[in-house]
Amino acid sequence: MATQETLTPSGDGTDKAAKPADKAPLPVIKRVGLEGVVALDSVLSFIDGQVGELIYHGYDIKDLAENTTFEEVAYLLWKGSLPNRAQLDELNAQLQAERELPPMVLDVLRSVPEDAHPMAALRTAVSALALFDSEADDPSPEANYRKALRLTARTPTIIAAFDRLRKGKEALAPLKRNSTAHDFLYMLNGEEPGTAAERTFDVCLVLHAEHGLNASTFAGRVIGATLSDMYSAVTGAIGALKGPLHGGANVEVMKTLLELDRSGKSPEQFILDKLAAKERVMGFGHRVYKTLDPRAVILREMVQDLSEERGQRQWYDYGVEMMNTMEREKGIYPNVDFFSASVYHMLGIDMDLFTTIFTLSRMTGWTAHLIEQWSANRLIRPRSEYTGPRNLKVVPINQR
């Protein structure tokens, strides 16, 4: 593990001088990768990485996955309680009304090269949304809530439009009468999804909505903490989520599963070969979970159901054998990206769109974190340890 820690002067690992008003010199703590560092308070989610527990604002993820929709979870994250029927109806109506893209943003998507990385296209379009939002730089809590809603409503439209345009099809206007899951699958595929596909996708959205101070959320809060705007912050967060060590892992998982399928090897041998070659197996391991990610437990059941229903049993069998081999060989467990990849694949979604779906859902968590950040803002500004040279003297340019 790349973690190093040096402490001065208290030396006990606690940041005793975290209070802004303190004038005494701050103890310096060094932890590469900020592992185990608590940077702020949040009411949004809690992860117990030892037992595999995830809570959104007091509710266990399994309970939420079984008994709520993505929109109810969005409301919970933004407002701090689950909505009643009238509140949910109002939120749904607001999301539906905001789903359509400004025409200029559609034009931006039309000019994106068809081989562009979908996360790059999404990052660009989300950034462009700011240019057509008169409230983009309004920092009031009311405007920020409306922007959170708008961003959540429009992200699915961007993803679907990008995908259709790159395939030479026309982008479809949102139906504006259904759930996020329903409208997204309709705009992507050009036909309304069945109830089962809609519900499966909706559960995926619930599972990906929020996850503490992960890399993209942290990136977003760092930007927000400078008192920059919500669009800038979520654009930065999208950039962080794109990375294969974070949200980009779900695409890498599918590539791995397809490679296994072509290889003719058993999943066990396939994993053993990868480990012998010192390769990382994508979709495994986590900075916080040291046991099975509770979202992976739910997604594994979904893979089982879908693979039986669709006669594609191999995705479940591969997944379980890979999981057992990784646990036996390395003591490492699947994370959310491992089983979600097969779910999206069986729902007929193109592999390279998987991380954009993660974004679609996480937009709620990011925006909730930004609202929380601005309710008690403090600039986030850690330090680096200087390891470069000293005492060099500038040699005039024509003598270098």
Q: Which residues are catalytic?
A: 286, 337
If the CB atoms of residues 154 and 208 are measured against ligand CMC, the closer one turns out to be: 208
Backbone angles phi, psi at 242, to 5 degrees: -60, -25
Smallest gap from residue 133 Cβ to ligand CMC (A): 28
> What does the binding site for ligand CMC look like in residue numbers (CB under 6 A)?
1-2, 33, 214, 245-247, 249, 280-287, 330, 332, 335-337
User: Please, which residue, 230 or 336, has the CB nearer to ligand CMC?
Assistant: 336
Nearest of 304, 296, 299, 298 to residue 62 by alpha carbon: 298
Q: Closer to ligand CMC at the Cβ: 2 or 397?
A: 2
Place of tokens 């997944």: 319
For tokens 């005793």, what's the residue? Answer: 16
Question: What are the tokens at 176?
Answer: 């504006």
Rounded least distance, CB 97 to ligand CMC, Å: 31
Please report how close the Cβ of residue 298 comes to ligand CMC at its closest, in angstroms: 14
CB of 197 or CB of 213, closer to ligand CMC: 213
Choose between 149 and 237: whose C-beta lies nearer to ligand CMC: 237
Decide whether 104 or 245 has the Cβ nearer to ligand CMC.
245
31 C-beta neighbours (distance < 10 Å), count: 15
CA pair distance 280, 262, nearest whole angstrom: 19
**Distance (Å, whole) CA 144 – CA 374:** 10
Spatial neighbors of 366 by CB under 8 A, at least 6 apart, are 216, 217, 220, 233, 234, 237
For 175, the token pair is 């139906």
Given the complex with ligand CMC, which of 136 and 272 has the nearer CB atom? 272
Q: How far is the CB of 282 from ligand CMC (least distance, A)?
A: 5
Count other Cβ atoms within 10 Å, centred on residue 202: 23
User: CA 60 to CA 5: how far, in whole Å?
Assistant: 33
| Residue whose CB is nearest to ligand CMC in the complex, by number | 285
CB of residue 354 to ligand CMC, shortest distance in Å: 11
Residue 218: CB minimum distance to ligand CMC, A: 11
Minimum distance of ligand CMC from residue 334's CB (angstroms) = 8
In order of 169, 236, 289, 323, 330, the CA distances from 241 in angstroms are 27, 9, 18, 24, 26
